[in-house]
Chains A and B, each alone.
Chain A
Amino acid sequence: MSIVQADHVTRTFRVPAGPVEAVRDVSMSVAPGDYVAITGPSGCGKSTLLQLVGCVDVATSGTITFEGRDVRALTEAERGRIRLRRIGLVFQRFFLLPMLTAWENIELPQAEAGVPKAERRLRTRALLDYVELSHRADHFPSQLSGGEMQRVAVARALANRPALLLADEPTGELDEATGEHVAALFDRVNRDGTAIVLVTHNPALAARARTHLAMKSGMLQPA
């Protein structure tokens, strides 16, 4: 059974100049263990598709089911709970909370999900080890490099052991060497069983995925 299934999904935005179809009749499926990269020019609808798959946004038409549940039939609170427990999100700009340390940023979604304190401590320590930042646990984001911040963001995304990790331009703000380090981390996450869908302009990163899809004018096709 797939984690997420999109059937003939379209997302239309109303703008003063008229409706714009950011995603047009897209169908795709992500199964456990998949590693999918979506590439395409800026403005082709990659991030919008990622938000639809990640239950952040809702399709204008078509159907998205997440673990068998029709996303459009869910309330915002229910979609929030799915994002919290079943999906990990990694952003281009990291979006770590600046007033929290690396440790606390990773602990935050666990606390929201009601993970007991002792369990949170164990998981957070393991995740910091996993992203090789144990020595930076008490550092604030402003004290970390871009690559370190993105690794903390990946650890935060993995905190509630999601079935699916979604990353929107995860290396977009990083130099090549740091981007390579983060890409290796995604490989490891996938090898350890988490399905990944990432959107990128970075061909080297896209090449590491087992499935590479290209997007053009809101439509998806094999690369």
Chain B
Amino acid sequence: MSGFALARRTAVRYPARTCLAVLGVAVIAALNFDMLLLSRGLLLSFADMLGGAGYDVRVMGGGGVPAIRFPIHDAAALADAIRRLPQVGDVARVRLDQVSAAGPRSGPEQAVTLIGASLDAAHPIWTITAGRSLPVDEQGAPPSVVLGRSLAAALGAEPGMLVRLRAGDRDGRSLLPAIACRVVGVADFSLESARALTAAVSLDTFQAVQGGGASDEADLVLVASAPEVGPDAATAAVARLRPGLHVYSNAALVEQFNRNGFAYFRQMSLVLSTTTATFTCLLVAVLLTVSVNQRLGQIAALRAIGISRQHVAAMLLWESALLVGVGGAVALPIGGVLARALDDILRRMPNLPERLHFFVFEPRAVVLHAALLAATAVVAAAYPIWLAVRLPIAPTLRREVVS
């Protein structure tokens, strides 16, 4: 009979002890699993958010992330040059500014982030939830606007209605006239928080809201690399076009955030997962040690009849592995539910992008969880095994008889 079979029989033989141990391990391991999800959750979520619109290279005028952006001059020519590169699949120019917006009904103006985007790009940087995306504006007709969900609700606007956009925020003193725009769609903006007030228009309309003129600037140029070459080659090719620009692949941005912005989460999750792993280890070690101490006579008798030390050690190791393994498996759904609840709480923080999550599942987390638990099971079993294999057979049998 193998060590595993003996361990399994022992677990079945003492159901109350087994259930308590499994439950204890499950609760602690669920926290541990959550820490693993948290350790890379923001990073994964951030990467997913950046790649969500289908662009994997970003061109900026200067600074890093999220420093103040410098405008890119001659943006149209730059976009054309980038589009002609064989490493590139798609290009979008983006402008950003704060404006104020008034809805079709009388009400206060809202301070809004206005996005101006070139319409020749294949991928819009928003996801339409009602109506349609921006068409090319017709001569004489009001220009089109896509409203974020929160802004549409705040203004009471739906597709087909007119809203007015005016340069400057609602407390600003801009003398520029408001531009009436027709709402063509309502959308989610992946980089904006759920409560952010956002609207998107064409670059021409953006320019008109700013008072017209012949500005050819962009705050950001988004590039989708050709699928066959990938973002690194595209990044290098774009950087060669105009050396003064700052060109980053999404992966480079994620790495930059990983080094700077997310270190706190990583450190916190490292501390907490080490703590929970220690608790798991102590729990199982205590249970197994108590169990071994209760079975000293039995173990001494086993050794006396010739059962090897290795066999006894294997039995105890498997007992530990079974308690930790079953507890660890039960921990996965508990950890999943807990992670979701914690994620909901954390995402209530103001100004977080809608698509940003703190706890993100990835298969790697399960593998790490399993590896950590396996190590915990081995460490937890070490002392009880040491006790059992070093047990002096003759004195123990004598003590058992006397007692």
**Does A91 belong to the interface (CB within 8 Å)?**
yes
Residues of B within 8 A of A95 (CB): 297-298, 301-302
Q: A58 to nearest B CB, angstroms? A: 9
Cβ of B245 to closest chain A Cβ, rounded Å: 72
Residues of A within 8 A of B12 (CB): 99
CB proximity of A110 to chain B, nearest CB, Å: 10
Q: Smallest Cβ distance from B133 to chain A, in angstroms?
A: 68
Complex Cα–Cα for A169 and B308 (A): 25
Roughly how many angstroms separate A68 CA and B401 CA in the complex, as a whole number? 31
Kindly specify which of A101-109, A130-138, A186-194, A213-221 makes contact with the partner chain.
Answer: A101-109
Q: How distant is the Cα of A178 from the Cα of B6 in the complex, in angstroms?
A: 30
A113 at the interface (CB under 8 A from B): yes
Whole-angstrom CA separation of A57 from B304 in the bound complex: 10
Does A97 contact B302, Cβ atoms closer than 8 Å? yes
B311 at interface (Cβ–Cβ under 8 A)?
yes
Q: Which residues of B contact A29 (CB under 8 A)?
A: none
Bound complex: CA of A87 vs CA of B394, how far in Å? Answer: 15
A98 at the interface (CB under 8 A from B): yes
Which residue of the partner chain B has the closest CB to A172? Answer: B401
Whether B400 pairs with A99 at a CB distance below 8 angstroms is no
Let me know if A100 is at the binding interface, CB within 8 A: yes
Asked whether A100 lies within 8 Å of B305 as measured between CB atoms, the reply is no
List residues 1-21 of chain B with CB under 8 A from any CB of chain A: 1, 6, 9-10, 12-13
A41 on interface, CB distance cutoff 8 Å: no
Known: A57-B394, A99-B10, A112-B311. A91 touches B306 (CB 8 A): no
Q: At the interface, yes or no: B303 with Cβ under 8 Å from chain A?
A: yes
A99 adjacent to B9 (CB under 8 Å): yes
Kindly name the residue among A48, A51, A87, A157 whose own CB sees the greatest number of chain B CB atoms within 10 A.
Answer: A51
Which of B1, B297, B311, B397 contacts A56 (CB under 8 A)? B397
Instruction: Say yes or no for A208: interface residue by CB 8 A criterion.
Output: no
Tell me whether B307 is interfacial, beta carbon within 8 Å.
yes
Q: How many A-B residue pairs have CB under 8 A?
A: 81
In contact, A51 and B397 (Cβ under 8 angstroms) = yes
* Contact between chains at B400 and A156 (CB < 8 Å): no
Q: Is B378 an interface residue (CB 8 A)?
A: no
User: Is B297 in contact with A93, judged by CB distance below 8 angstroms?
Assistant: yes
A98 in contact with B308 given A93-B297, A107-B1, A108-B1 (CB within 8 Å): no
- Tell me, in angstroms, the Cα distance from A100 to B90 when the chains sit together: 70
Bound-complex Cα distance A99 to B322 (A): 16
A65: Cβ under 8 A from any B Cβ? no
A88 to B306, CA, bound (A): 9
**Interface status of B119 (Cβ within 8 A of chain A):** no
Contact with B along A52-91 (1 / 0, CB 8 A): 0010110000000000000000001100111111011101
A109-B307 in contact given A91-B397, A99-B9, A99-B12 (Cβ < 8 Å): yes
Residues of chain A contacted by B6 (CB below 8 angstroms): 97, 99-100
Indicate if the CB atoms of A113 and B306 lie closer than 8 Å.
Answer: yes
User: Shortest Cβ distance from B8 into chain A, in angstroms?
Assistant: 9
In angstroms, how far is the closest chain A Cβ from the Cβ of B227?
58
B9 touches A77 (CB 8 A): no
Residues of chain B lying within 8 A (CB to CB) of residue A57: 393-394
**A80-B303, A99-B10 are known contacts. Are A48 and B394 too (CB-CB below 8 A)?**
yes
How far apart are A121's CB and chain B's nearest CB, in angstroms?
13
What residues on A are CB-neighbors of B308 within 8 Å?
A: 77, 80, 112
The smallest beta-carbon distance between A99 and chain B, in angstroms, is: 4
B398 within 8 A of A: yes
Asked if A89 and B400 sit within 8 Å, CB to CB, the answer is no
Chain A min CB distance to B318 (Å):
13
- A99 to B12 CA separation, bound complex (whole angstroms): 8
The chain A residue with its CB closest to the CB of B298 is A95
Which of B297, B303, B305, B400 has the most C-beta atoms of chain A within 10 angstroms of its own C-beta?
A: B305
Question: Could you jot down 19 A-B contacts, CB within 8 Å?
Answer: A47-B397, A51-B397, A57-B394, A77-B309, A81-B306, A83-B306, A84-B306, A87-B306, A89-B304, A91-B301, A92-B401, A95-B297, A95-B298, A98-B13, A109-B306, A112-B308, A157-B305, A160-B306, A168-B401
User: Which residues of chain B have a CB within 8 Å of any CB of chain A?
Assistant: 1, 6, 9-10, 12-13, 297-298, 301-309, 311, 393-394, 397-398, 400-401
9 further A-B pairs in the complex, CB-CB below 8 A; given A84-B305, A95-B297: A47-B398, A77-B309, A80-B308, A84-B307, A93-B400, A95-B301, A99-B13, A112-B308, A160-B306
